[in-house]
Copies of this chain bind each other. A is one copy, B any other.
Amino acid sequence: MSPAPLPTDLNGIRRLDRDDRLAGFRAEFELPADVIYLDGNSLGALPKAAKAIARRTVEQEWSQGLVRSWNDAGWYDMPRRLGAKVAALVGAGPDEVVMTDATGIDLFKVVAAALALRPDRDVVVMEGSNFPTNNYSVQGLIRLLGDRHQVRFVEAARLIDAITDDVAVVCLTHVHYKFGHIHDMAAITERAHTVGALTAWDVCHSAGALPVDLNGCGADFAVGCTYKYLNGGPGAPAFLFAASRHHGQAWQPLTGWWSHAEPFAFERDYRPAPGIAQMLSGTQPVLSMAVAEAGLDIAARAPIEQVRQKSMRLGDLFLALVADSCEEHGFRVACPQDAQQRGSQVSLSHPHAYSIMRALIDCGVIGDFRAPDVMRFGLTPLYLRYEDIYDAVQVLQEVMDTETWRRPEYAQRLAVT
């Protein structure tokens, strides 16, 4: 059954909110009163439950439990226990994911592990326009390995053809950070395997936003962050997936005591832990990790197909309203028009994107700017209403009609968001 056509009038939009089966989730988040927050693809909102976790972790577990809390409060188990919660959201087994370190560090680990499994190949396929920290992570690894490998940068349309039998690893971000297009994880992974390559997926912009089925697609490795659609908090630790068939075969090189077979034997020489634990390194930032559980628990209760349906409709509504009301202002749609091809964001390009975004933020509509000319609007179905989209586009229209964005204080300088 295909959904009814989207209304674009306010009454119709309010009806969408009344009928929204996810509407109740909004009450689980704390949001500033004067803001329409369309940047949850950068930093997700605060789950109310996270406040109590932060207080408990600091004011009880650290304060009163002290070092005993590594056992008594379960700090030591968190990378595995929370990893299993993430696993359930991305189509992985509970023993295939750990929560640990940061996305770029984890990407270094899994690409190094994958390259070691394909010692006779020297190409890593990546999308050149991808979020560049992934490039930098792989470039740093390749330099460290003595420049014996190379990155083959290709764009989406030419990806499949670029995956040839000299490729060791295909390293892609499932949903593009800027343009929002979705890669066909199943088809690309199948192509990679056909030519004998492995895959390392970055699901930063898809985990919690749309169905991700790592094992269903046969993915080999994956990394992702928990502070976007999973609402884990600023800089919350990342997660790392390694398919169980690679456990014991592929070593990540950032070995530390948490990845040792017997961490508390304090042996002089490294011996790899069995299973997913080998993907750990050292001690984790407990407070940042503990707090992230609140967002994971919300995601576990939110049916991902409903999240996806609402996300697509929020995006369709946004684009329809922009087309209606801002037609003369020179925006170009920089994301797929087809919701099926689009992640949980919309992107508009404009020569004055930076200044327009500054003006929007000042008016309480928070999206973000990505160089050189893209405005991103993240769509987070758990705490956004359809009416928020209506209001946001009204503000955009106002900013354009009144040329507010031309004010000197919005002139472009180096952006730090």
Contact = CB atoms under 8 A, between A and B. Distances in A.
A59 B49 CA distance: 11
B105 A281 contact: yes
B112 A144 contact: yes
A9 interface: no
Contact of A256 (B37, B55, B76, B137): B137
Given A132-B267, A281-B105, A76 B416 contact: yes
Interface in A40-69: 42-43, 45-46, 50-51, 54-55, 57-59, 61-64, 66-69
A42 to B, nearest CB: 5
Interface stretch (A179-187, A301-309, A366-374): A366-374
Contacts of A253: 140-141, 143-144
Contacts of A30: 59, 63
Contact of A58 (B54, B105, B235): B54
A283 B368 contact: no
A67 B136 contact: no
B132 A254 contact: no
A260 interface: yes
Contact of A286 (B58, B105, B225, B234): B234
A136 B283 CA distance: 14
B66 A282 contact: no
A48 to B, nearest CB: 9
Q: Which 5 A-B pairs have the closest CB atoms?
A: A285-B288, A140-B255, A234-B286, A104-B282, A104-B256
A69 B43 CA distance: 10
Given A63-B46, A281-B102, A415-B264, A291 B136 contact: no
A8 B253 CA distance: 51
Interface in A98-115: 101-105, 108, 112
Contact of A136 (B104, B259, B288, B416): B259
A103 B368 contact: no
A22 B62 CA distance: 23
A387 interface: no
A283 to B, nearest CB: 5
A30 B62 CA distance: 9
Given A101-B101, A234-B69, A266 B416 contact: no
Contacts of A140: 251, 253-256, 270
Interface string A325-342: 000000000000000000
B32 A64 contact: yes
25 contacts: A31-B63, A37-B66, A42-B67, A46-B62, A58-B233, A62-B233, A67-B417, A71-B417, A104-B282, A128-B268, A132-B257, A135-B268, A136-B257, A136-B259, A137-B282, A140-B270, A143-B251, A143-B253, A144-B144, A233-B286, A234-B286, A234-B287, A264-B371, A264-B416, A266-B370
Interface string A128-158: 1101110111011101111000000100000
A281 B110 CA distance: 16
A58 B53 CA distance: 10
A409 interface: no
B283 A286 contact: no
Interface string A145-178: 1100000010000000000000000000000001
Name the residue among A37, A254, A262 with the largest chain B CB count within 10 angstroms: A254
A344 B101 CA distance: 29
B112 A105 contact: no
Interface in A365-406: 366, 368, 370-371
A120 interface: no
Contacts of A43: 62, 66-67, 70
A284 interface: yes
A368 B140 CA distance: 39
A68 to B, nearest CB: 7
